Structure 1
Amino acid sequence: MKRSLASLILLLSACQPSPHETQPPAPPSAAVTVAGPWLRATPPGAPVAGGFLTLHNGTSADDRLLAVESAAAQRVEIHEMRDEGGVARMRELVDGLPLPAGTTAELKPGGHHLMFIHPTRALPAGEQVDATLVFERAGRMPVVFEVRPLGAAAPHH
């Protein structure tokens, strides 16, 4: 009986992982998600179109929106608006938009936003525009922007 009990204990201890074995990394709590992508409509020949959306980094790692690609414009830039001495100034974020772990970034009129530079055609309200968001960690993410009327200030809910 003692021999059987000793054999059972030895067998069970052999099944336990060594404290030195590495465990697989835990999966992130969620992915980077996109909500409410929209563009302002443009008349023919407009030099730019403003793009807006909300990004949420549900992961445990910092990320960064590095670029946006779209066939609807010659290029897309990530911009910020700042108030400098009572004057609104817009500038490109050449290093992209930081998206720290667990945070939400709202790209909206008057704040961070996307500039679709030299649209390839007029963008009338009601159309959709395909684009790809490029993140440092999350990689490439396709997104469809809804074109809203020229005076639109926020997405419809």
Structure 2
Amino acid sequence: MTAIYPGSFDPVTYGHLDIIKRASQKFDKIIVTVLNNPSKKALFDVKERVELLEIATKDLDNVIIDSYTGLLIDYAKEKDISIFIKGLRAVSDFEYEFQMALTNTLLDEDIETFFLMTSNKYSFVSSSVVKEVAKFNGDISKLVPDIVEKAINQKMKGE
């Protein structure tokens, strides 16, 4: 069985990787899909996010990294996949993701959303927190892989 794990992954964090690794143990294949949201100002472009994810997941044989602009439902139809994985950190995540899951099911009744709770040690980690800490030259080494930390620091310095 194949599942899609969608997100912006700007940047990918240890919280995201926790969900990816655990989902990869439960499904035959996971397609991590970087969704391009043109209305959001991203730190990394889609190509950079895909590359960082590919490096961060290189040891997971059943994980594929892809990208898409548009509705997730349309992407799922193109791939003939009906399972989405969503990571949850807190009740606030659930409220939003529950609404999205119901909307997706309304658009395609075959879609199922599997919610995975993040591990406790990553329950506070978000891409927004990582960017905020990095902006003020804080230590993000416990929040993101080395390659991501290096890429963020280069972006922050304007390189």
- TM-score (structure 1 length as normaliser): 0.27
Query: More strand by proportion, 1 or 2?
Result: 1
Whichever of the two has the greater Rg, that structure is: 1
Query: More helix by proportion, 1 or 2?
Result: 2
